[in-house]
């Protein structure tokens, strides 16, 4: 099992992180414990959750996932054996939201209580709030690291320019720097390839994709004619609530799914495993967040790196969901670069030594 360092740190991170957004939502505490036990028994250690999981479901207050995870760690006495990542910034109660210093300090303390621990290994800014000054956010997170409340921090769902500005400010001011980005990435959702992946590679920031199965569409259980009956996945739930964030059932998405099913059949692996493999082995990706509501699902996801996708089939998958033309990115492709720099190949210094 190949592993990587997380950003510019000395921390070794597993190729997969267990997502805790289902704990206390689509699975109860008993099944959550089984999935967590199975994850550790398979040799993995990173678990990701958030303070708001799952505030947005009927009858939920938020924090249920953290509470289940905290109870599990206490009962198993395994806090030193796991790496815990959680998030803050989504509104938990009136007046308690965003990324201001006042709220971040309170949110971290609340997460520590629910998790029944005195430190968080990796703390994510859940999403850009478009309000709090980036200088304040960086200073607050630096303060939390120095206070021992969190060990490292990362950003989830932010513009690439925001992450780069935060990194540069922290570097210039001698503060703790962002080490990772958590962003949606799959065969269907590939927009981070335009800006986020190059920025992360340039700055030495790890990328931890969420929703590698595009909300479940790439699992193979959805059919082009649609699902019937009660909601059975995040796509169904998103449709029922009117939330378009996780609705990936466009014509383009169905076409990508058709190619995935063909490739999976040729390889002889489930489509979910092929889709997970594709994301986990993409440039810039450090570790991929997976979800599981049953042990069989967990075992299948963890098996998705036990094979390699042949180059020709990988190209078919990549071409199926390739991003369309967009400005100014067309200027960075070979045709226009040849006009800008001439026909002579100019290679970056970092790549010339091994030529």
Classify 148 in phi/psi space as left (phi over 0), alpha (psi -120 to 50) or beta: left
Classify strands 180-184 and 150-156 as parallel, antiparallel or unpaired. Answer: parallel
Token pair for 277: 């493999």
Q: How far apart are CA 280 and CA 301, in angstroms?
A: 11
CA atoms within 13 A on the CB side of 110: 20
Of these residues, 53, 123, 152, 185, which one is catalytic? 53
Separation of alpha carbons 338 and 345, rounded Å: 9
Known active-site residue 103 = no
What Rg do the C-alpha atoms of the chain give, in angstroms? Answer: 21
Query: What is the torsional sign of CA 53, 301, 271, 186?
Result: positive
Place of tokens 């059932």: 249
Question: Phi and psi dihedrals of 199, rounded to 5?
Answer: -65, -45
**CA end-to-end distance (rounded Å), the chain:** 29
Cross-strand bridge partners of residue 285: 207
Count CA within 13 A, CB hemisphere, residue 55.
Answer: 12
Determine the Cα–Cα distance for residues 284 and 180; give it in Å rounded to an integer: 11
Give catalytic residues, as residue numbers.
53
């Amino acid at each position: 099992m190949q592993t990587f360092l997380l950003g510019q740190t000395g921390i070794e991170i597993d190729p997969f992180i267990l997502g805790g957004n289902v704990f206390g939502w689509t699975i109860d505490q008993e099944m959550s414990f089984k999935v967590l036990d199975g994850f550790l028994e398979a040799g993995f250690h990173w678990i990701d959750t958030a303070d708001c999981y799952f505030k947005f479901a009927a009858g939920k207050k938020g924090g249920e996932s953290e509470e289940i995870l905290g109870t599990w760690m206490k009962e198993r006495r395994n806090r030193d054996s796991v790496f815990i990542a959680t998030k803050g910034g989504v509104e938990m109660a009136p007046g308690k939201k965003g990324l201001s210093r006042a709220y971040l300090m309170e949110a971290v303390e609340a997460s520590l209580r629910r998790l029944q621990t005195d430190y968080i290994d990796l703390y994510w800014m859940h999403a850009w709030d478009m309000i709090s000054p980036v200088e304040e956010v960086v200073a607050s997170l630096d303060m939390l690291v120095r206070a021992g409340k969190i060990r490292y921090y990362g950003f989830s769902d932010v513009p690439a320019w925001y992450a780069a500005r935060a990194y540069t400010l922290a570097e210039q001011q001698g503060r703790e720097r962002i080490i990772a980005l958590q962003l949606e990435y799959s065969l269907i959702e590939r927009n981070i390839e335009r800006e986020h992946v190059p920025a992360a590679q340039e700055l030495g920031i790890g990328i931890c994709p969420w929703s590698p199965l595009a909300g479940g569409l790439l699992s193979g259980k959805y059919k082009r004619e649609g699902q019937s009956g009660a909601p059975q996945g995040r796509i169904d739930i998103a449709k029922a609530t009117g939330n378009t964030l996780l609705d990936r059932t466009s014509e383009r998405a169905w076409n990508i799914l058709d190619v995935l099913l063909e490739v999976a059949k040729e390889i002889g692996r489930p489509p979910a495993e092929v889709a997970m493999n594709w994301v986990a082995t993409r440039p810039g990706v450090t570790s991929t967040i997976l979800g599981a509501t049953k042990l069989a699902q967990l075992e299948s996801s963890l098996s998705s790196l036990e094979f390699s996708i042949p180059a020709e089939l990988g190209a078919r998958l990549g071409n199926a969901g390739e991003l369309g033309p967009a400005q100014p990115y067309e200027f960075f492709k070979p045709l226009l670069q040849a006009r800008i720099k001439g026909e002579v190949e100019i290679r970056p210094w970092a790549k010339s030594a091994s030529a």
